Amino acid sequence: MQFASFVPLILLSFSFIHTVVSADKYPTELVYEAPNGTWLENLAVRADGSILATVLTSPDLLLIQPDPKNPAPKLIASFPPTLPFWELQKLPRTPATNFTSATVSGVLGSGNIYRVDLPRHPHHPNGPVHVSLTSHLPDDTGLPNGLLSLNNQTLLLAESNNGTILAINTVTGASTVAINDPLLLPANGNPIGINGLKLHGNTLYFTNSGLNTFNRVPIDLTTGAALGPATVIATGLTGKGIAYDDFALSSDGKRAFLTTTGGNTVAEVDTETGGQRTVAGDFHSTEIAQPTGAAFGRGKGQKGIVYVTTAGGIAIPVNGYEKVGGQLLAIHVG
C-alpha cells in the first residue's frame, strides 16, 4: 500500500541498480471490477482456485470466482469496527486495525489478527463461516501489513510504520519482534517501510515502499529470526507515488511479480540477477489502476496466472484525475 510521494534513497551499500527494459507484455484479463470508490487491497488464492480479497474502503472479506461469466463476489465476513486489510495467505487469517488514511497509519492499540474458517466440503459450499480472534497485536503496532504462515503455529507480520517483522504464535496469541533491519524501516518521508513479504525455503523476500526496494533475508524457520543482514535485489523506478507494494513469487523462487502502486504496472524481477522489466499495465492507463496485491493462481490451468488486486486509483489517480472501481485482474505469465 502506498500514498505518499517520495524520492528513493540509494544507500552506498547497494552494489548496483537495475533498470527496466522494454519488452512484450503479458496478456492481462479483467476478472472483476467493483463499483467506483471500492479499494481492493489484497488477496489469497484457495486450493479450488477461488479468490479471497480484502476491502480497505469497507470492513469486508470477499470471495470471488475467477470466471468472467460469474465474477460477482460473495461477502464472506465483516469485521466492525475494524478494517481488514493487507495480505491473506493460504491460512485464512487477516490482520485488522482501525485505520487512518490521511496519515497512512493504524490507531495504536487497535490491531488484531483474526482467523476465518471457510466451508471446505464441496457439497456444502454455503456452509457457515466462523470468525475468531487469534491475537491482539502489541499496543505500539502502527500499521500491520504483509502476513504469511511460517509454520504450523507461527505467522510473520510486516509492521510497516515501525519497520519490523513480528512473529505471532497462533496458539498463545503472543507477539514478538522477529526481525529488525535497516531495510525494513520507512524512508524518504514515506510512513510505510516494509510492505509485502513472501517465503521460499528459508529466504524471506520483502518490499520496502519508502526505499522502493525489493529485498531478501535468510531466516530461521522456527522462530523467524534473521540469520544475516537483509540485502537489496532490485530498486524500482522513481516518480510521484511510484513504489513497490505487494508481489507474487513463483514456486521455484526465481521470478517475482511486483505491483508498483502509482506506477499502475506490474514488474517482473529475476530474483537471482535483479534484472527487471515491466510486464503489464502502463503509467497512463487505468488497465491496472494503483495495484495493491498479487498472488499466483492455484489449481488446474491457473499456475501460470498472477492475480492482481487494485485500489482503482483512489489514493493516486491515473493521470492525476482518473479513478475506476477496485479491480481483480489475471495476468497470464506462463
List the domain boundaries for the chain: 20-332
pTM of the model: 0.86
Q: Which CATH number fits domain 20-332: 2.120.10.30, 3.90.870.10, 3.40.50.11720, 3.40.190.10?
A: 2.120.10.30
Give the C-alpha distances (Å, rounded to integers) separating 201 from 46, 83, 164: 21, 32, 21
> CA 71, CA 33: separation in Å to the nearest integer?
9
Buried b (16+ CB within 10 A) or exposed e, 44-69: bbbeebbbbbbbbbbbbbbbbbbeee
pLDDT tens track for 9-44? 222 222 223 333 345 899 999 999 999 999 999 899
Cβ(257)–Cβ(330) under 8 Å? Answer: no
In terms of Cα–Cα distance, which of 98, 121, 123 is closest to 110? Answer: 98
Least confident range of 84-88, 130-134, 308-312: 84-88
Confidence band for 115, pLDDT divided at 50, 70 and 90:
confident
pLDDT on residue 23: 53
SS3 call for 60: strand
In terms of Cα–Cα distance, which of 182, 49, 173, 50 is closest to 113? Answer: 173
Least confident range of 117-126, 146-155, 265-274: 117-126
> CA 249, CA 200: separation in Å to the nearest integer?
8
Strand pairing partners for 264?
none
> CA 64, CA 70: separation in Å to the nearest integer?
9
pLDDT tens track for 316-329? 999 999 999 999 99
Matching residue, cell 495495484: 291
Helix (H) or strand (E) holding 154: strand 154-159
Positive/negative CA dihedral, 79, 46, 218, 182? negative
pLDDT tens track for 123-166? 556 778 888 888 888 888 888 889 999 998 999 999 999 999 99
Positive/negative CA dihedral, 63, 158, 216, 222? negative
Name the amino acid, one letter, at 24.
Answer: D
Round the average pLDDT of the chain to a whole number and report it: 83
Cβ(258)–Cβ(245) under 8 Å? Answer: yes
pLDDT on residue 10: 21
**Burial bucket for residue 153 (CB in 10 Å: 0-12, 13-18, 19+):** exposed
Between these two residues, 42 and 275, which has the higher pLDDT value? Answer: 275
Name the amino acid, one letter, at 142.
Answer: G
Cell of 162: 515501525
| pLDDT > 60? residue 222 | yes
Give the C-alpha distances (Å, rounded to integers) separating 95 from 40, 56, 57, 137, 249: 15, 12, 15, 9, 21
Confidence band for 4, pLDDT divided at 50, 70 and 90:
very low
Give the C-alpha distances (Å, rounded to integers) separating 153 from 99, 167, 214, 262: 27, 10, 27, 36
SS3 call for 182: helix
In terms of Cα–Cα distance, which of 70, 63, 60 is closest to 31? Answer: 70
| pLDDT > 90? residue 105 | no
pLDDT on residue 247: 98
Between these two residues, 84 and 328, which has the higher pLDDT value? Answer: 328
| Strand pairing class (51-55; 60-64) | antiparallel
Q: What is the dihedral of CA 21, 285, 187, 226, to 10 degrees?
A: -60
